[in-house]
Chain A
Amino acid sequence: MINFSDPNFLPWLIPVGPLLAFVIIVLLTNRSRLVPATDRHEYGGHHPEYNGMLVPVVSPSSRVLSIVVGMSGAVAAWLMSWKVVFDALAVGTGTFGKSVFGSSVEWMALGDRPFTMGVLIDPLTIPLLFMVPLAVLMIFIYSIGYMAHDPRQARFFALISLFAGAMLTLVVADNLLLLFVGWEVMGLCSFMLIGFWFEKHSAYKAAVKAFTTTRVADVIMLLGIVYLYSQTGTLSFREILYNQEVLAQLAGTPALLFGGLGISASGLIGMFLIIGTVGKSAQFPLHVWLPDAMEGPTPVSAMIHAAAMVSAGVYAVIRMYPLFEAGGHPHAGEFTSPLLLMTFVGGFTALFAATIAIAQNDVKKVLAYSTISQLGFMVAALGIGAYIAATFHLITHAFFKALLFMASGSVIHAMEHGEHHVHEHGHGDHGHHGDHDEDYPVAPASIGGGRMELAYEAHDGHGHGHHHDEHGADHGEFDDVGGIGDEHGSHHPHDAHAHTQAHDHHFDPQDMMNMGGLKDRIPVTFITFVIGGLSLAGFPLITAGFWSKDEILADAWLGLTEGFGPQIFVFFILALAAFLTAFYTARQLCLTFLGEPRTEEAKHAGLGGPRSVISITMQLPLVILAVFALFAGFVGVPPDFPIFGALFSPEVNPFFEFVKYSLLVEIQPPKPPFSVWPVLTSFAVALGGLALGYWMYGRKPLTAGQPDPMIKILGPLYNVLKNKYYFDELYTIVFIRPSQAIARVTSDFIDRGIIDGILHFIARAANFIGDLLKVFNLWLIDGVGDGIPQGLGKLGERLKFLQTGRIQQYLLLIAVFALLIGLIFAAVSVGIAGN
């Protein structure tokens, strides 16, 4: 019996919880009934297209079951992960790394070698095992609220559990193949979740786009895996990456492709693997899928962009780092081809995506591009050998980006609530509630909007009850329809004009131009959003984002002082990208929260009162993650940093010292000494960007209808940025259309035309010869044999006996064949006898 409390075996169980939850939910809650989605809010909270459709709705007990089971899986994974983390920390810095936790079983035989699958916990796994389950758990809690109105809530929990299970599998994997399994299952989950509202055209298009784009990269990565295996005979991380001999041998073998250019086997394998990450982590030029992936429900975005998929991409390259570095030494200015690839792809992506982000108006798209940009930071950092800094940024980024996505989800939810409110109450003639309309008179305009607006979240603890009192009986029945603690607020007939406008044009609850002034309506979300934003911008000293970004710049500075090109490139391009990051973050915060509401919907935005389930489940995770977004950085403060170093790292940088032992001592990166210049740069870009953003958008917040000042400043460039440099259009023209055309031509012209044409030609020729032989046939086997040499076309007609039932003809045919065979047989035998 395996003792699962042993940390060597416990990691097996970490992914089991969520995976089991997936299975249980799938098996137990698939019974649903189709009901018409007449209530726009009940079923269409996030997807107005539900309106009027039949949607499958699972029973309330199934909903509860899916939440309970999904949460149990997540909690189990979290507890076990943290137990492993603390077991590892107990082993101690330096010791843990030389010794690791792990075990494996035989999985298949490749040739005569058994192929094993197992788990590995080493110092690099530990921060991931700390971060991933926690973020997953937060996302699960958040989802309870966010998906409360969705008819497919059970399905959502099933998929997100599978997603979490796959991510955890990937983290604990001890070999590249198991990592790849988790990697691909996640790709599948993202496909399913992005296309969660699969009726919606844009949603399933985005889903297919995401899967296909990442699949291209994944398959190239698979080629790298195959190459690696053919070179080393193993895919185990420890056997390859913690083994100087194997690494040296790989670095010494010329590559199969471009070997003449001095690229080694490890170089080519590395580049194949990096391409996998370029797809998964949405780096240029495979970044196009990620912004579209915003079609999924918001918790999915958090899952994809923070805890799981994109982190997985970077995790994979961090994990394989010794392979990329083999044969080079970035801190001494010797760069291998994979390192250079990462440096330039990462650096370019960081800046490229940041420029796009400044011109986006969709609250989630800004975050999407910021994610691409931040992942670029990590990849570029890895390219210059800043192994620990990249890991560190991966962790802090996960916290603040999960926070930001979920906070933006709250914003969207609040806006939808506002939209719903306007929709319901704006028009007396708007018949969404059927019967209720008659006993639902339009209230007099005397109930002021101004006071009510403030009442939604924290300011008015009794908001819900308050409204009941005011509206009395004519409201009560209606409220029962509303579901879990949702507020319907007051009537605002005087706003009818604005509503009509909003409904004529499809209202977009994600468009920041429709927001403004939300800080008073959803204060908890506001505060946490600001914390996340500041962390993303790298606000000095008190945010986690500052410390991890600073670490990258410090490492780049180290090489810059030596005059190494890649480090110089990385330092300046990341500094510029960091400046833009701070700027667009400020822009986003100002546009969303400051000033006056620019639409009626924004005026009525809210989460349904502080005591509602939705409000609690959607904001508790924000608060918890905000704590990490602020303080997680203190585990990696350089000891020689003034004041803070003495405070948090009196001896050594704990994060740095712990994680570096996942590498062999020979290739551990040096700790960059404290230097004032990178720190000043960090200060300058973060504060400068935030200040510029505030100056443009916060000082005098935009009012309704006022155009973005950016349009004027950037001129024609604005449209280029807004349209993402037209990459979608370019790819459509360069890849999608031609492959469709090639497919059609191949199918119609080559396959049906040439290949079948030749076949038919042969058949006709045979037919012709058959006719010639007919005379011969007539006396040989009268009236039957003409069936044999006839070609396809004519024979088809002749063999219509299939329908007429003249089977004896067929039997004769067989007899003839048998005769022929016999003749050949005889002839050959005679030939042998003759010899």
Chain B
Amino acid sequence: MENTGLSLTTVTLFLPMVGLTIIAGMALLDAEKNRENFKWVAFAFSILTFFASLLMWANYNSADPALQLVQRNDWLPQYGISYYVGIDGISLLLVLLTTVITPIAVFASFRSHVIHERGREALYYGFMLLLEWAMIGVFVAQDLVIFYIFWEVTLIPMYFMIGIWGSENRVYAAVKFFLYTMAGSILMLLAMLYVGTQAGTFALPEIVNAVQSGAVSFPFDGLFSTQSFLFLGFLIAFAIKVPLWPFHSWLPDAHVQAPTAGSVILAGVLLKMGTYGIVRFCLPLFPEASVAWAPVVGGLAVIGIIYGAWVSYAQVDMKKLVAYSSVSHMGFVVLGIFALNAQGLQGATLQMINHGISTGGLFLLVGMLYERRHTKLMAAYGGIWKALPLFGAISLIVSLSSMGLPGLNGFVGEFTILMGAFGSEVLGFFFALFATLGVILAAVYTLAMFQKVYLGELDKEENKHLEPMHWQEIAVLIPILVLIFWIGLQPVGFFNTMDTSTEAIVNYVQPHIDEIVVENAASVSEAP
């Protein structure tokens, strides 16, 4: 193995760490005097990271299917573990998502009462940067162990963000979040260790090559065989993170209790680690099991789509409603992935971005209302459009994006996923049919929320004198709106970025789908 020089990926990855170090240094020097400065450091470094990731995009050659901007250095050579980072189109888009959402979340925290009241800014903004570092790490890691470390590190800052700066029931939510995801990760760790030791290396691209060439094989013999168990080991960890029905019950609690910025990052980026993991590990490493389990996972995804939507409809708390809608939307992403074709995978990748933007936006908006009225119950509102016209208009746009109105971003992803599920050789018509039911319900619960909060008479005294939007609040929403329209109106750039990478992943799986199709055709011709 050759060691390579410093790559742009590493620079992007470690920029937040530089910021974290500076914050730590300032805190050690004089935490009280620097109280107002931590946020600016965090913001500056998250913005720097964003520019670095833009540079990555500029340097990325979308025509080349190979891993790019790679850096690899020995770490624990005796175990085949190395510091190995690099990107393909899918990683790149998710890194960009992370570097867009993080500054937004940091900036949105500036005006948060709860952070102001509970103090410890150094810790809070430090955690933000730690989280960004770990999230980027998850998306660029090409070594199983490195990936696992980043994966676990994301838990810690989020755990504290919920636990320290959350609402009333924050400890329960924080612990539930931590233990639930931790329990899943242990399974993944075991599966990883098995895979790594079998292949003799933990470098993902090498393992994938070995699997594809047949040099390493995980015996597959039906739904319950070695490969399937390994597949499930990974899948369950990811499914909890996504969260795939019925592993979702940590999500509403975490969201409701988390501070606004925590919810934004949680919904915006952390959930995508689950779906990204499926794409990056489950599909290429265990193609046969992926094909065999696709209808089951696809089925859970569809249940999640409808279930999440229906439960959303029953909520009285805005944050809970948005949280359950995430279950529904992320179900769509999983459905797209397990369509196991190019359209499904492209749609899923784009929908990860879309969901991050729209749901992140919704959480920001709910947070802004919360800052004003200190309640998330819809019943406390009504007629807000009149009190805050601009706010109402922005909320409508973001809501519509979330429910997939054509012309906005959500539609492009949903449509492509439906295309994928419909044309899929492993899923097919009925999966698409039931998924569309979720699209209908999305309109129902989103509009129900919009109606209860924004429409109607401004009849509650407390709502009549709400503080108008602050420029910082508008500023924080502008990137969200820009992306909503950009992806909705001209998505071709995003598709081009991931095109070859999704195709490569489909190609890993395709031969095994063909086998099944051939088998089925054979059994059909034998049957009569």
Contacts and interface: CB of A to CB of B under 8 A. Distances in A.
A285 to B, nearest CB: 16
B490 A828 contact: no
Contact of B447 (A211, A756, A797): A211
Nearest to A205: B451
A824 B193 contact: yes
Interface stretch (A106-114, A359-367, A427-435, A554-562): A106-114
B197 A829 contact: yes
Given A30-B390, A109-B496, A199-B383, A755 B249 contact: yes
B389 A226 contact: no
Given A185-B406, A208-B447, A223-B436, A742 B190 contact: no
A746 B440 contact: no
A195 interface: yes
A792 B491 contact: no
B175 A740 contact: no
Interface string B185-197: 0000110011001
A177 to B, nearest CB: 8
A177 B189 CA distance: 44
Contacts of A756: 249
B79 to A, nearest CB: 8
Contacts, number: 186
A735 to B, nearest CB: 11
B376 to A, nearest CB: 16
B310 interface: yes
A747 B160 CA distance: 28
Interface string A720-763: 00000000000000000001101110111001000110010001
Given A199-B383, A204-B451, A799-B171, A109 B499 contact: yes
B176 interface: yes
Given A184-B405, A204-B455, A792 B179 contact: yes
Contacts of A803: 164, 171
B386 A199 contact: yes
B407 A800 contact: no
B440 to A, nearest CB: 5
Nearest to A759: B249
A219 interface: yes
B406 A107 contact: no
A628 interface: no
A792 B346 contact: no
Given A185-B406, A742-B310, A792-B179, A204 B456 contact: yes
B292 interface: no
Contacts of B419: 110, 226, 229-230
Interface in B418-454: 418-419, 422-423, 428-429, 432-433, 436-437, 439-440, 443-444, 447-448, 451, 454
B379 to A, nearest CB: 15
A230 B389 contact: no
Given A208-B447, A257-B429, A802-B163, A56 B457 contact: no
A743 B325 CA distance: 13
B514 to A, nearest CB: 16
B285 interface: no
Given A212-B447, A802-B164, A108 B491 contact: yes
Interface in A757-802: 759, 763, 792, 795-797, 799-800, 802
Contacts of A743: 310-311, 313-314
Contact of A32 (B193, B310, B389, B451): B389
Q: Which of B175, B313, B390, B433 has the most chain A CB atoms inside 10 A of its CB?
A: B175
B20 interface: no
Nearest to A181: B406
A109 B492 contact: yes
Interface residues of A, number: 74
B436 A222 contact: yes
A195 B455 contact: yes
Interface string B228-250: 00000000000000000010110
Contacts of B180: 759
A119 B492 CA distance: 18
B439 A222 contact: yes
B207 to A, nearest CB: 16
B400 interface: yes
Interface in A40-66: 49, 53-56
A534 interface: no
A107 B448 CA distance: 33
Nearest to A736: B444
Contacts of A110: 342-343, 346, 416, 419
B432 A223 contact: yes
B174 interface: yes
Main secondary structure of the interface of B (DSSP, over half): helix
B443 A832 contact: no
Q: Binding site of A, secondary structure by majority: helix, strand, loop or mixed? A: helix
Contacts of B473: none
A256 B429 contact: yes
A68 interface: no
B495 interface: yes
Contact of B246 (A204, A207, A223, A755): A755
B172 interface: yes
Interface string B152-175: 000010001001100000111011
Interface in A784-835: 792, 795-797, 799-800, 802-803, 814, 821, 824-825, 828-829, 832
B67 interface: no
A106 B490 CA distance: 9
B93 to A, nearest CB: 14
A678 to B, nearest CB: 41
Contacts of B342: 110-112
A89 interface: no
A56 B436 CA distance: 39
Contact of A109 (B346, B383, B393): B346
B345 to A, nearest CB: 9
A615 B311 CA distance: 52
A199 B456 contact: yes
A795 B175 CA distance: 7
Given A180-B406, A256-B429, A743-B311, A230 B422 contact: yes
Given A110-B419, A744-B314, A802 B160 contact: yes
A740 B312 CA distance: 11
A740 B313 contact: yes
A111 B346 contact: yes
Contacts of B429: 227, 256-257
A216 interface: yes
- Interface centre among B249, B416, B491, by most chain A C-beta atoms within 10 angstroms, is B249
A198 interface: yes
B493 to A, nearest CB: 9
A220 B432 CA distance: 11
B218 interface: no
Interface in B332-386: 341-343, 346, 383, 385-386
A39 to B, nearest CB: 18
A746 B455 contact: no
Give the interface centre of B310, B383, B406 by most chain A CB atoms within 10 Å: B406
Given A201-B456, A759-B249, A795 B179 contact: yes
A126 B389 CA distance: 40
Given A747-B311, A759-B176, 4 more contacts: A111-B341, A198-B386, A226-B419, A829-B79
Interface of B: 79, 156, 160, 163-164, 170-172, 174-176, 179-180, 189-190, 193-194, 197, 246, 248-249, 307, 310-311, 313-315, 341-343, 346, 383, 385-386, 389-390, 393, 400, 405-407, 411-412, 415-416, 418-419, 422-423, 428-429, 432-433, 436-437, 439-440, 443-444, 447-448, 451, 454-458, 464, 490-492, 495-496, 499, 503
What are the 8 closest A-B residue pairs judged by CB atoms, nearest first? Answer: A743-B314, A111-B342, A747-B314, A181-B406, A802-B163, A204-B455, A743-B313, A230-B423
15 contacts: A34-B386, A109-B495, A109-B499, A111-B341, A112-B499, A181-B406, A198-B455, A208-B448, A211-B443, A215-B444, A222-B439, A223-B422, A223-B436, A739-B310, A742-B310
